[in-house]
Structure 1
Amino acid sequence: MRASGSERPGLELVESSPVETTLDHADIPDAWQVWPEMVKGATRTLDVAQFYVSNAPGSRLEPVIQAIEVAADRGVKVRVLAEEKFYAQYPETLERLAKRPGIEVRRLDTAKVFGGGVLHAKYFVVDGREAYLGSQNFDWRALEHIQELGLRIRVPEVVRSMADIFEQDWALAVGAAAPRTAAVSGPFPASYAGSTVHVTPAHSPEGHLPDPATWDLPKLVKLIDGAKRSVRVQLLTYKAKSRDGGPFPELEDALKRAAARGVEVRLLVADWGKRKGTIEGLQALHAPPGLTVKLVTIPRWSGGFIPFARVVHAKYMVVDGEQAWVGTSNWERDYFTQSRNVGVIVEGEAFANQLERFFQDTWTSPYATEVDPKATYTAPNISGTP
């Protein structure tokens, strides 16, 4: 699916796969190679928005960080925006970048500015002409020990929708007024694998979007309600509740409505969902006919335990092999109503079919097992602490 120069498609799937697994795809480029290439192509501006930044010596993220530093050295204006809540846990790389001339770093206290939530989006914009969004955090683990999925985007209006969000959040991080922007709701035509597809921005949270029409939750419900044959969803976590325990029926009810009218609904989630308070909802969701839930467990790395890794983290949906969503949100209420996330909806078989193959490869892999509605599950130790 690769092209070069001006022939590069308007959309390009980009993945990360855990080393020592069978989940890598030869026809999908890897983020650890795509990211430095994009950064090296910057000539004027580079705007990076991330949940947090966590590097490690010799990791696949180090060349990305170095490319950002070199971009600043050659005169590119670099802005990095990260979530305030995680700064204390991962300060080193942000501090390193902030010390570099030509790089400005800000932290967004999302809970204070939005009244809750976090900056959970993971994206960057190069020269206002291309962008990347996906499930990968700027975390060395996301490039070698986690299954992830994202998009390299060269659709001008979609890139602008992400640039508008960055400008708004960049201003809000220092208490400034958000700049005015024009509507960018879409859909917009794009090239993918020699075919024309249509791309619609789909962002969150409600009430804090430069263009309110880009709110993602009603778009996802509409996609599911329009399904005739199949719905495929993969996420890190799924829960029909908010963090405070309140109900979040919108997506779950849509999935159940689809199954009730004969649509084959399949949901893949990480085994982190075995924890109490989450697994019960997955077990209940697995019960109706036509609705199947699988948990995915990635084996431990041969080099030893890695905290917060060896997991599937991709976030996407495919409907009828014709329409798709790729984003940064897990499916819990707060991701849509309080936290900053970005994504796109893509209409077109060429794109949806490749995404469905990506889903199928994980669904049929030895790492995926059906949820047992009657089992008692033990949550994996993801941090490594007793």
Structure 2
Amino acid sequence: MDSESPSSPTGECAKAKVQVVQSIPLGSPADPYSGAPYIPPIGGSVPSWEAFVRLANESTTTLDFTAMYFDLLGLEDRQQFNASEMQAFGADRGEAVFAALEAAAMRGVQMRILLGTLNDPMNSTEVRTLLSYPSVKARTWNPVKWYDGGIMHMKLWHSNGRAAYLGSANTDWKSLAQVQELGVLVNGTAATADLGRLFETFWKWASPDVPAQQMIVFSDKYAAPLTLPPWDINVPLELRVPMAAPFDLLASSPLAALSSVSSPQLLCPDEEDPEAAAANAYVSASPGGAVTAGRTFDQAALIDTVRSATTNLSLSVMDFLPASSYTGGHGSGPLYWPELVNAVLAVAYSKPVRVRVLVSRWAHTSKMMGPAMKQLADGLAACTTAYPTCAGSLEVRQFELPGWQNTTGPNATFPPYSRVNHAKFIVSDQRANVGTSNWEWGYMYQTAGSSWNTNDTKIVAAVQQIFDQGWESPFAVPL
């Protein structure tokens, strides 16, 4: 789903270098303090903490980033684990990122931090320290004002207007050392400009001058009343109020998207790689209130990648639920959200595609997800009793990162809220989607999120390698 498209592209390619970014948890149940990754990263990938440090260290003029919450220094975890244990866990990675941020602030880099509301990050020690420098500003984006639900879940960094990160890693030391993550690091002024526009959209939206505005719209599709801001693309066109938006929604706006599913940005081959080929990419967004002119809705980007498959389709995410799992903004009951599941099943039914779905199991997995994934896994059952049979196949597994059962209670050997595959991506034989959102109704319709979508063959191959590594490991188990 696109809103009005901006002016047509010139056909000129944007110079870009795109790299896969990974976090691989350190330690194992047999040796929690080994300081070694439990599996090796793929060749050519950049560690998440190094990507963040690089973006901060190389910033000379501007540095913008989003943060659902802040926990780079692990102050609470240090009350449970001693200094040597924290060192072995990799806590120094968070310290390095924070030191790089503070050094950038000391240099006078104009820094803008767009915060969520989890654990009140505006009043955290880390954010208060950064705000003590005159060049640093922070705002809070609280979607409850417009949606009665949702969170800031986008993980986006943009440095000097020429380098950017988009992916699943949080500003949390555990996200850098004890949680499995995936993102992309993009270098190139033109190639990152669209990510800059997306950050600017949310920054304007988070202004304290923007009032709380809500419409209650009954959705026939979801059979429920939805709470939405008046300009959201999910408000019926005849009821929508574009002028209520805190930013210009016209195609001529400086916040109009520079890429979309129907008009992706052409990327030049990497000059440093003689085997590189031209590619394209686009940036999507959620919720619908962030879909400016030409921007692709994040749900549509996910489905676009699913439908692109001709032989192979691999999906990996922490939480996958064809419903709403959080309350607020959609009436009193849950919603059924079939769009992504339907797209996956349609591919498996109609194309000779091997479909594999990998979801996570950890100490905080929703009890709703197991039955939902079993239902998905049984989605081709009719093909065994009917003629003609399905063209493709479908299998679902759970990824249990070693140590996930040792993160709670007084005898925990790993920090809380760790030891989980937190990455969110889809890769087909044609393209890859690397995102920030779990796959559940609220993440699409109430929550800040985005994804990098590309047919870059090197990125597609790298993301597929990451999926295969997990799928073929002993940690990917049947439901």
Shift of 1:68: 1.2
1:255 maps onto 2:255 in alignment? no
Q: Distance in 1 between matches of 2:477 and 2:342?
A: 24
Bigger shift: residues 107-116 or 195-204:
107-116
Equivalent residue number for residue 316 of structure 2: 234
Equivalent residue number for residue 309 of structure 1: 418
- 1:132, 1:152 within 8 Å by CA — same for their partners in 2? yes
**Aligned-pair identity (%):** 28
Q: 1:189 to 1:155 in 2, by over 3 A?
A: farther
Q: 1:168 to 1:225 in 2, by over 3 A?
A: closer
Bigger shift: residues 270-279 or 256-265:
270-279
Equivalent residue number for residue 288 of structure 1: 379
Shift of 1:34: 2.0
Q: Distance in 2 between matches of 1:250 and 1:158?
A: 30
Report the secondary structure of 1:361's partner residue: helix
Report the secondary structure of 2:285's partner residue: coil
Report the secondary structure of 2:278's partner residue: strand
1:364 maps onto 2:472 in alignment? yes
Report the secondary structure of 1:53's partner residue: coil
Q: What does 1:31-42 align with in structure 2 at a 5 Å threshold? A: 31-42=48-59
Shift of 1:260: 1.0
Q: 1:184 aligns with which of 226, 246, 258?
A: 258
Q: What amino acid maps onto 1:293 in structure 2? A: V
1:97 maps onto 2:130 in alignment? yes
Equivalent residue number for residue 25 of structure 1: 42
Report the secondary structure of 1:166's partner residue: helix
TM superposition score normalised by structure 2: 0.71
Q: 1:59 aligns with which of 89, 92, 97?
A: 92
Q: Distance in 2 between matches of 1:284 and 1:161?
A: 38
Equivalent residue number for residue 348 of structure 1: 456
Bigger shift: residues 172-181 or 76-85:
172-181
Report the secondary structure of 2:193's partner residue: helix
Equivalent residue number for residue 181 of structure 2: 148
Q: How many residues align?
A: 363
Shift of 1:116: 3.0
Report the secondary structure of 2:25's partner residue: coil
Instruction: Identify unmatched segments of 5+ residues in structure 1.
Output: 1-7, 372-386
Shift of 1:288: 3.4
Over residues 2-35 of structure 1, what are the superposed CA-to-partner deviations in whole Å (9 max), with x where a residue is unaligned? Answer: xxxxxx9521111010113114224312111221
Over residues 169-201 of structure 1, what are the superposed CA-to-partner deviations in whole Å (9 max), with x where a residue is unaligned? Answer: 222221243364233124112235522221111
Q: Distance in 2 between matches of 1:101 and 1:160?
A: 26
TM superposition score normalised by structure 1: 0.88
Over residues 39-75 of structure 1, what are the superposed CA-to-partner deviations in whole Å (9 max), with x where a residue is unaligned? Answer: 1111110011121111226531111111111112112
Equivalent residue number for residue 445 of structure 2: 337
Q: 1:217 to 1:165 in 2, by over 3 A?
A: same
Q: What RMSD in Å do the two structures reach over aligned CA positions? A: 2.2
- 1:18, 1:145 within 8 Å by CA — same for their partners in 2? yes
Bigger shift: residues 297-306 or 101-110:
297-306
Report the secondary structure of 2:449's partner residue: coil
Report the secondary structure of 1:352's partner residue: helix
Q: 1:325 aligns with which of 417, 433, 458?
A: 433
Over residues 297-332 of structure 1, what are the superposed CA-to-partner deviations in whole Å (9 max), with x where a residue is unaligned? Answer: 112289813111000011111112x21100101111
Q: What amino acid maps onto 1:175 in structure 2? A: D
Shift of 1:163: 1.6
Q: 1:14 aligns with which of 12, 21, 28?
A: 21
Q: 1:278 to 1:215 in 2, by over 3 A?
A: same
Report the secondary structure of 1:200's partner residue: strand
Equivalent residue number for residue 289 of structure 2: 207
Q: 1:287 to 1:89 in 2, by over 3 A?
A: farther
- 2:70, 2:121 within 8 Å by CA — same for their partners in 1? no
Report the secondary structure of 1:61's partner residue: helix
Equivalent residue number for residue 4 of structure 1: none
- 1:15, 1:149 within 8 Å by CA — same for their partners in 2? yes
Equivalent residue number for residue 140 of structure 2: 107
Q: Distance in 2 between matches of 1:89 and 1:287?
A: 45
- 1:224, 1:255 within 8 Å by CA — same for their partners in 2? yes
Q: Distance in 2 between matches of 1:284 and 1:149?
A: 27
Q: Distance in 2 between matches of 1:108 and 1:95?
A: 17
Equivalent residue number for residue 270 of structure 1: 360
1:87 maps onto 2:196 in alignment? no
Q: What amino acid maps onto 1:61 in structure 2? A: G
Q: Distance in 2 between matches of 1:368 and 1:108?
A: 36
Report the secondary structure of 2:373's partner residue: helix
Q: What does 1:131-142 align with in structure 2 at a 5 Å threshold? A: 131-142=164-175
Q: Distance in 2 between matches of 1:67 and 1:76?
A: 11
Over residues 237-261 of structure 1, what are the superposed CA-to-partner deviations in whole Å (9 max), with x where a residue is unaligned? Answer: 0000023520101000011111112
Q: 1:275 to 1:337 in 2, by over 3 A?
A: closer
Bigger shift: residues 218-227 or 360-369:
218-227
Q: What amino acid maps onto 2:257 in structure 1? A: A
Larger Rg: 2
Q: Distance in 2 between matches of 1:93 and 1:234?
A: 32
Report the secondary structure of 1:59's partner residue: helix
